[in-house]
Structure 1
Amino acid sequence: MALTRSFKKTVAERAQRDPAFAQALLDEAATLFLNGEPEAARVILRDLVNATVGFEELSRETTKPSKSLHRMLSANGNPSMDNLATIFTVIRAKLGVNIQVHAVHKA
């Protein structure tokens, strides 16, 4: 039986070496939150934190315990909007990107 790579490890390694991919993950997490899919958004955001700033650094930047941040970004987490905004701010700074929202009007 052939060994397969861990999906999370593959995502993390690509996000570390490919800034455009990391930015796309951040964009996808934001889009999912805004479109009412918070569980998927939290999972993507957790993977992005692991690949970029790490939970210990995120803990220092947000002044929130690392364990609390892990819980917030689990599939069943329930972070406040303030906590999410802070997490996005830290990741955006790490990646050096801004997020812009564009409305799409449906006919």
Structure 2
Amino acid sequence: MVSRLVDSAELDRIKRDPEFARALFAEAGSLLLQGEPEVARVMLHNLVNATFGFEGLAQATGRPSKSLHRMLSVSGNPSMDNIAAIFDALRHHLGASIEVQANTVA
């Protein structure tokens, strides 16, 4: 399981490459829906750090930045309402759309 924060080179890539940031955002959503919330939270944490920061996320969601920081830690346990607010804020900030597709598993 990947449970580490990214290094500065990776954060720089997220900052300068919007397509890469949107791809990480999509992957975080996919991981969450596939039962890997710990990895999804760390990816979301990294995206927030590299984009508008936890203060910006706090303004966008109406939740305290320290609480958001804890929610997106490896051991965080955000409610579905908070996850939805975080995804919505990142979606708007990244200019991304979210589409869910269920496929048949062989």
Compute the TM-score of the two structures, normalised by the length of structure 1.
0.91
Structure 1 segments unaligned to the other structure (5+ residues): 1-5
Partners in 2 of 1:46 and 1:90 — Cα distance? 13
Q: Hey, what's the Cα distance between the residues in 1 that align with 2:6 and 2:73? A: 16
Report sequence identity in percent.
56
1:7 CA drift (Å) = 4.0
Distance 1:41 1:11 in 2: 16
For structure 2, which runs of at least 5 residues remain unmatched after alignment? Answer: none
Q: CA deviation at 1:106?
A: 1.9
Residues paired across the two proteins, number: 102
Q: Post-superposition, which runs of at least 4 consecutive aligned residues in structure 1 deviate over 3 A?
A: none
- How far apart in 1 are the matches of 2:43 and 2:7? 10
CA distance in 2, matches of 1:84, 1:65: 14
1:62, distance to aligned residue in structure 2 (A): 1.1
Instruction: State the alpha-carbon separation in 2 of the partners of residues 7 and 47 from structure 1.
Output: 7
Aligned to 2:44: 45
Higher gyration radius (CA): 1
TM-score under structure 2 length normalisation: 0.91
1:8 corresponds to:
7
Q: CA RMSD in A?
A: 1.2
Alpha-carbon distance change, 7 to 58 in structure 1, aligned in 2, over 3 angstroms: closer
